[in-house]
């Protein structure tokens, strides 16, 4: 290994359902040390505000994991975790209401209630600031379930309280805030920048991926329009607020019910991990994610990291690459004679082999 690579930064996103960012880092470190023990390896697991964000926070801060029983997207009880570091909590919505953890996938009937329960627990533990990673949800309830867990009441035509879901937002006739609102600072990390409703809103862009049928998508969008009218009476209009459509409108709900600040998930993770100083130390930056495509250019880890590392040697590893050209080296780890399903099973081994092959090639 040439001396110009005295320090290597390993800073990936996850490979969904096959390799966590932390596992990527550990494998890369073992390969690099095998080649040259003198090289300094800086490991920094990253995320974009979706799945894997909690593990990223814990890996980079040494935060304490808190595990309890919470309500999942189907109103069932599950074990889920969040993390606390000093007076800051980190909650990944996908831990409770993630699509991957949801058995009945239908955003018309799923709830964000469990996220509100986690916020309650974080506040009880003394959290003054809560980072709320919104991505990967199975919901489309605009955060109304979350609000119910925090003491908000939603009344229907019969003046009865209920927990609104995607298909019943239209039934809300009155919103009654709790006597004491959440006083923690809420930073909502968005992994996408969609507005609340319309062609580029959460329902039309993501609801079908969460299990909604064609006719249900139109209904969900109509209900979000109605929710936005309700929000106007509280001084909010999400028509043009980027990120308000994140996680089935949970971005909008976080603003309305928690006075949250919406931020780029990647940007906030970069701050938390102090990635800027780590890039400065590195001669080579190794990153990766499961799939690199056109969407990767917009607020995703690999491209945002490259934007900060343009004077560095830079390589990204992936399982699937649909880009015809990219401003940096991309290495596909999959073997040509394997099906995608087989490649997913062998992700860790394939990555280890391809990384070793790549590093030896640049000697």
Q: Supply the mean pLDDT for the chain.
A: 95
Q: In CATH, what number does 3-45+283-361 get?
A: 3.40.50.10350
Higher pLDDT, 297 or 349: 349
Q: Which two tokens stand for residue 141?
A: 């309830």
Contact 156, 174 (CB under 8 A): no
pLDDT at 170: 98
- Average pLDDT, stretch 25-36? 96
Percent share of the chain, pLDDT over 90 = 91
pLDDT at site 299: 85
Three-state DSSP class for residue 92: strand
pLDDT at residue number 54: 97
pLDDT band for position 3 (50/70/90)? low
CB-based contact 224:249 (threshold 8 Å): yes
**141 vs 44, 168, 208, 257, CA distance in Å?**
34, 8, 15, 13
Q: 295: how many CB neighbours lie within 10 A of its CB?
A: 12
Does the structure show a pLDDT above 90 at 298?
no
Structure tokens at 121: 């627990």
Per-residue model confidence (pLDDT) at position 1 = 44
Residue 5 is predicted with a pLDDT of: 87
| DSSP structural state of residue 241 | -
Taking residues 252-276, what's their average pLDDT? 97
Three-class DSSP category at 351: helix
- Percent of the chain topping pLDDT 70: 99
Examine domains 3-45+283-361 and 53-266 and report if their fold is the same.
Answer: no
pLDDT at residue 24 in the model: 98
Domain 53-266: state its class: alpha beta
DSSP 8-state assignment for residue 39: S
Q: What is the pLDDT of residues 342-355, one digit of tens each?
A: 989 999 999 999 99
Q: Is pLDDT above 50 for 27? A: yes
Residue identified by tokens 């304490």 is: 64
**Is the overall model pTM greater than 0.75, yes or no?**
yes
How confident is the model at residue 324, as a pLDDT? Answer: 85
**Confidence class for position 336, pLDDT limits 50, 70, 90:** confident
Provide the residue ranges of all domains of the chain, joining segments of one domain with +: 3-45+283-361, 53-266
- Give the per-residue pLDDT at 340: 82
The answer on pLDDT for 220 being more than 50 is yes
Average pLDDT of the residues in 99-115: 97
């Amino acid at each position: 290994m040439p001396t110009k690579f005295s320090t290597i930064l390993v800073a990936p996103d996850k490979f969904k359902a096959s390799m966590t960012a932390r596992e990527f880092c550990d494998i890369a470190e073992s390969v690099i040390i095998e080649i040259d023990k003198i090289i300094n390896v800086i490991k920094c697991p990253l995320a974009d505000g979706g799945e894997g964000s909690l593990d990223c926070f814990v890996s980079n801060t040494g935060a304490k994991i808190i595990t309890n029983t919470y309500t999942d997207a189907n109103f069932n009880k599950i074990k889920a975790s969040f993390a606390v570091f000093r007076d800051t909590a980190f909650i990944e919505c996908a831990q409770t209401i993630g699509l991957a953890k949801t058995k009945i996938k239908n955003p018309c009937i799923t709830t964000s209630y469990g996220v509100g329960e986690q916020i309650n627990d974080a506040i009880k533990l003394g959290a003054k600031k809560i980072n709320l990673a919104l991505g990967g949800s199975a919901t489309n309830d605009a955060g109304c379930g979350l609000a119910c867990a925090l003491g908000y009441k939603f009344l229907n035509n019969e003046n009865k309280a209920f927990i609104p879901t995607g298909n019943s937002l239209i039934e809300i006739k009155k919103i009654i805030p709790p006597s004491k609102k959440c006083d923690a600072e809420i930073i909502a990390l968005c992994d996408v920048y969609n507005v609340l409703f319309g062609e580029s809103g959460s329902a039309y862009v993501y609801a079908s991926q969460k299990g909604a049928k064609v006719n249900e998508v139109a209904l969900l969008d109509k209900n979000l329009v109605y929710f936005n009218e309700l929000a106007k009476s509280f001084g909010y209009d999400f028509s043009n607020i980027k990120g308000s459509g994140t996680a089935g409108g949970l971005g909008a709900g976080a603003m309305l019910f928690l006075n949250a600040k919406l931020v780029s998930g990647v940007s906030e993770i970069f701050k938390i991990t102090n990635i800027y100083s780590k890039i400065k130390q590195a001669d080579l930056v190794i990153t990766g994610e499961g799939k690199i495509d056109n969407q990767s250019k917009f607020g995703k880890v690999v491209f945002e990291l490259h934007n900060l590392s343009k004077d560095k040697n830079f390589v990204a590893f992936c399982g699937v690459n649909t880009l015809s050209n990219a401003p940096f080296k991309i290495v596909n780890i999959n073997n040509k004679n394997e099906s995608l399903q087989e490649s997913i099973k062998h992700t860790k081994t394939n990555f280890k082999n391809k990384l070793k092959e790549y590093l030896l090639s640049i000697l």
